[in-house]
Structure 1
Amino acid sequence: MKNVLVFKTSVNEELDINKLRPVLNALTPPTDLWNFDLEDCDNILRIETQHLRATAVLDSLHSLGYLCEELH
Protein backbone atom coordinates (compact mmCIF):
# COMPACT_ATOMS: atom_id res chain seq x y z
CA MET A 1 0.00 0.00 0.00
CA LYS A 2 1.36 3.39 -0.97
CA ASN A 3 1.57 6.37 1.36
CA VAL A 4 1.30 9.93 0.14
CA LEU A 5 3.92 12.34 1.46
CA VAL A 6 3.06 16.02 1.06
CA PHE A 7 5.54 18.86 1.41
CA LYS A 8 5.40 22.64 1.29
CA THR A 9 8.45 23.81 -0.69
CA SER A 10 10.25 26.87 -2.00
CA VAL A 11 10.39 25.33 -5.49
CA ASN A 12 8.69 27.89 -7.72
CA GLU A 13 9.57 27.23 -11.36
CA GLU A 14 10.24 24.50 -13.89
CA LEU A 15 13.97 25.21 -13.72
CA ASP A 16 13.92 24.15 -10.05
CA ILE A 17 11.98 21.00 -10.87
CA ASN A 18 14.48 20.10 -13.61
CA LYS A 19 17.31 20.55 -11.10
CA LEU A 20 15.54 18.29 -8.58
CA ARG A 21 14.37 15.64 -11.06
CA PRO A 22 17.53 13.47 -10.87
CA VAL A 23 17.58 13.73 -7.07
CA LEU A 24 13.92 12.75 -6.67
CA ASN A 25 14.24 9.98 -9.26
CA ALA A 26 17.24 8.59 -7.35
CA LEU A 27 15.27 8.64 -4.08
CA THR A 28 12.19 6.95 -5.49
CA PRO A 29 11.91 3.57 -7.19
CA PRO A 30 10.17 3.48 -10.59
CA THR A 31 6.91 2.38 -8.94
CA ASP A 32 6.73 5.60 -6.88
CA LEU A 33 5.25 8.79 -8.30
CA TRP A 34 6.12 12.39 -7.50
CA ASN A 35 4.96 15.76 -8.76
CA PHE A 36 4.97 19.45 -7.91
CA ASP A 37 1.91 21.68 -7.87
CA LEU A 38 3.33 25.12 -8.57
CA GLU A 39 -0.19 26.54 -8.89
CA ASP A 40 -0.67 25.96 -5.15
CA CYS A 41 0.48 28.82 -2.91
CA ASP A 42 2.68 26.34 -0.98
CA ASN A 43 4.38 24.90 -4.12
CA ILE A 44 3.38 21.41 -3.04
CA LEU A 45 5.49 18.32 -3.65
CA ARG A 46 3.49 15.07 -3.48
CA ILE A 47 5.14 11.67 -3.45
CA GLU A 48 3.27 8.37 -3.64
CA THR A 49 5.60 5.81 -2.11
CA GLN A 50 5.76 2.52 -0.27
CA HIS A 51 9.13 2.86 1.43
CA LEU A 52 10.49 6.41 1.19
CA ARG A 53 10.69 8.35 4.45
CA ALA A 54 9.94 12.05 4.67
CA THR A 55 13.33 12.74 6.26
CA ALA A 56 15.12 11.59 3.10
CA VAL A 57 13.17 14.11 1.02
CA LEU A 58 13.64 16.89 3.57
CA ASP A 59 17.39 16.28 3.81
CA SER A 60 17.81 16.15 0.03
CA LEU A 61 15.93 19.36 -0.69
CA HIS A 62 17.54 21.21 2.21
CA SER A 63 21.02 20.16 1.04
CA LEU A 64 20.27 21.78 -2.33
CA GLY A 65 19.14 25.02 -0.68
CA TYR A 66 15.36 24.58 -0.92
CA LEU A 67 12.94 25.06 1.91
CA CYS A 68 10.85 21.96 2.51
CA GLU A 69 8.35 21.20 5.26
CA GLU A 70 6.22 18.08 5.59
CA LEU A 71 2.49 18.75 5.81
CA HIS A 72 0.29 16.42 7.82
Structure 2
Amino acid sequence: MMIEVFKTNVQEVEQSQMIVEKLLEHFPNSAINFDLEDCDKILRIHSLSISNRKIIAVLNANGFHCEVL
Protein backbone atom coordinates (compact mmCIF):
# COMPACT_ATOMS: atom_id res chain seq x y z
CA MET A 1 0.00 0.00 0.00
CA MET A 2 1.33 3.42 -0.98
CA ILE A 3 0.45 6.75 0.60
CA GLU A 4 0.89 10.03 -1.21
CA VAL A 5 0.22 13.51 0.19
CA PHE A 6 -0.53 16.60 -1.87
CA LYS A 7 -0.91 20.32 -1.20
CA THR A 8 -4.01 21.75 -2.92
CA ASN A 9 -6.06 24.93 -3.10
CA VAL A 10 -9.40 23.15 -2.63
CA GLN A 11 -11.45 25.23 -0.18
CA GLU A 12 -14.96 23.79 0.07
CA VAL A 13 -16.22 20.40 1.26
CA GLU A 14 -18.37 20.13 -1.89
CA GLN A 15 -15.28 20.66 -4.06
CA SER A 16 -13.34 18.01 -2.16
CA GLN A 17 -16.19 15.50 -2.53
CA MET A 18 -16.32 16.07 -6.30
CA ILE A 19 -12.54 15.61 -6.59
CA VAL A 20 -12.63 12.41 -4.52
CA GLU A 21 -15.33 10.99 -6.83
CA LYS A 22 -13.28 11.84 -9.93
CA LEU A 23 -10.10 10.37 -8.43
CA LEU A 24 -11.92 7.16 -7.49
CA GLU A 25 -12.81 6.72 -11.18
CA HIS A 26 -9.07 6.50 -11.89
CA PHE A 27 -8.00 4.81 -8.64
CA PRO A 28 -10.80 2.47 -7.53
CA ASN A 29 -10.39 0.72 -4.17
CA SER A 30 -8.33 3.64 -2.87
CA ALA A 31 -8.81 5.59 0.34
CA ILE A 32 -8.88 9.27 -0.61
CA ASN A 33 -9.52 12.18 1.72
CA PHE A 34 -8.93 15.89 2.21
CA ASP A 35 -7.88 17.76 5.34
CA LEU A 36 -9.35 21.18 4.62
CA GLU A 37 -8.50 22.35 8.14
CA ASP A 38 -4.79 22.15 7.31
CA CYS A 39 -3.28 25.34 5.85
CA ASP A 40 -2.10 23.30 2.81
CA LYS A 41 -5.59 21.80 2.17
CA ILE A 42 -4.03 18.33 2.22
CA LEU A 43 -5.15 15.57 -0.13
CA ARG A 44 -4.14 12.03 0.98
CA ILE A 45 -4.39 8.98 -1.20
CA HIS A 46 -3.84 5.41 0.05
CA SER A 47 -3.68 3.01 -2.88
CA LEU A 48 -1.85 0.01 -4.30
CA SER A 49 -0.66 2.14 -7.23
CA ILE A 50 -0.52 5.92 -7.41
CA SER A 51 0.27 8.13 -10.39
CA ASN A 52 1.21 11.58 -9.12
CA ARG A 53 1.01 12.93 -12.69
CA LYS A 54 -2.56 11.61 -13.11
CA ILE A 55 -3.71 12.96 -9.74
CA ILE A 56 -2.30 16.41 -10.49
CA ALA A 57 -3.88 16.31 -13.98
CA VAL A 58 -7.32 15.47 -12.54
CA LEU A 59 -7.18 18.39 -10.11
CA ASN A 60 -5.80 20.77 -12.77
CA ALA A 61 -8.55 19.73 -15.22
CA ASN A 62 -11.10 20.75 -12.57
CA GLY A 63 -9.49 24.15 -11.94
CA PHE A 64 -7.46 23.32 -8.85
CA HIS A 65 -3.76 23.52 -8.04
CA CYS A 66 -2.08 20.39 -6.68
CA GLU A 67 1.52 19.56 -5.83
CA VAL A 68 3.28 16.69 -4.09
CA LEU A 69 4.39 17.37 -0.52
Hey, which bits of structure 1, 4+ residues long, moved more than 4 A? none
Asked whether the 8 Å contact 2:9–2:66 carries over to 1, the reply is: yes
Q: Give a deviation string over 1:29-54, Cα, whole Å, max 9, x none.
A: 22x10100001000000001111211
Q: Which has the larger radius of gyration?
A: 1
After superposition, where does 1:1-72 map in structure 2 within 5 Å?
Answer: 2-30=1-29, 32-71=30-69
Equivalences, count = 69
TM-score, structure 2 as length reference: 0.91
Is the contact between residue 4 and residue 49 of structure 1 (CA under 8 Å) also seen in structure 2?
yes
CA-to-aligned-CA distance 1:1-60 (integer Å, 9 cap, x gap): x11110000111112113213211102122x10100001000000001111211110011
Give, in whole Å, the separation in 1 of the partners of 2:21 and 2:45: 15
Moved more, 38-47 or 13-22: 13-22
Tell me, yes or no, if the aligned pair for 1:27 and 1:52 is still in contact at 8 Å: no
Q: CA RMSD in A?
A: 1.0
Unaligned segments of structure 2, at least 5 residues: none
